[in-house]
Amino acid sequence: MTIDFPCNFPNVDDMFEIVRKTEEISWKSGLDEKTIDEWLANYNGSVFSAENERRLALWLLCNYTYFSPVDLNYLCKILYNRFVHGDRFVKDNFILQGN
């Protein structure tokens, strides 16, 4: 069974570059190409061809959204300040405007 990828679907090299940049800038977990290759080896062609499964898995990894504990603390602080201590308060799915 094969997957008919759209013509504008990114190639493997471009996706590796996206993951590399994302890891460097955002994830900062020490993920390297060897680790990614080892992970991709789990996709062995049991459903689609191994190449197509790995390409799809790499695309999913490129689109994975990771929030570090620092990111989560920052986002929660903003939400708390905006919606609890700001000029708006959310209660029972309604936004009550402050005076």
Residue ranges per domain, the chain?
A: 1-66, 67-99
Beta bridge partners, 91, equal: 94
Whole-number pLDDT of residue 38: 95
- Enter the tokens of residue 78: 């903003």
Q: Give the integer Cα–Cα distance in Å for 3 and 50.
A: 11
Cβ proximity of 45 and 3 under 8 Å: no
Among residues 91, 89, 38, which one has the least CA distance to residue 61? 38
pLDDT by residue for the chain (99 residues), tens digit each? 778 999 999 999 999 999 999 888 878 788 888 999 999 999 999 999 999 999 999 999 999 988 888 889 999 988 888 777 665 555 555 555 554
* 91 Cα distance to chain centroid: 30
pTM of the model: 0.68
Whole-number pLDDT of residue 70: 85
Q: Which amino acid is at 44?
A: N
Q: Give the integer Cα–Cα distance in Å for 54 and 49.
A: 9
Residue with tokens 């029972």: 92
